[in-house]
Amino acid sequence: MILPVLLYKNKKLRKINKNIIKPINLNKIIKNMFDTMYYYKGIGLSAPQIGKNINLFIISINNKKMIFINSKIISYSKNTIISNEGCLSIPNIYVNIKRKKLIKVEYYDNKWKKHNKILNNNMSIIFQHEYDHIKGKLIIDYLKN
């Protein structure tokens, strides 16, 4: 089911989102998030963008679907990369953002299996963008820096 995406003025996008207490079946919400993301031609979508203030986001690149539950960034590299980013919650606006080129992350998948991974380049950028949503941050916040 395609869900409405909250736009940047919605206060739910500014909340710091809570971790999900397992075990809980998230399959329906995850399916709806993928349907919504594909409908709006996105590559990532966070639960806050659909009005759910929980630590959950999805990414789809190179025909690979990834689910991130209770994610956190463990460490960053010193090296950075500039990314021109858009956001489904802020249509038709693009912002150049300096992101960490390499990050180490921890998260659970939809089967509650814990993962520790090192992400770099595009995957690192997309993860950091969606993780910002979990922390109540939007791409327009980078315009101040």
- Between CA 31 and CA 76 the distance in angstroms is 30
- Between CA 117 and CA 144 the distance in angstroms is 31
3-state DSSP assignment of residue 12? helix
Q: To which H or E segment does residue 121 belong?
A: helix 121-134
* 106 labelled catalytic: no
Q: Which of 49, 108, 128, 130 is catalytic?
A: 130
Dihedral sign for Cα 89, 94, 96, 100, please: positive
Instruction: List, in sequence order, every residue forming a beta bridge with 116; answer none if it has no partner.
Output: 106
The answer to whether 103 and 75 have CB atoms below 8 angstroms apart is yes
List active site positions. Answer: 130
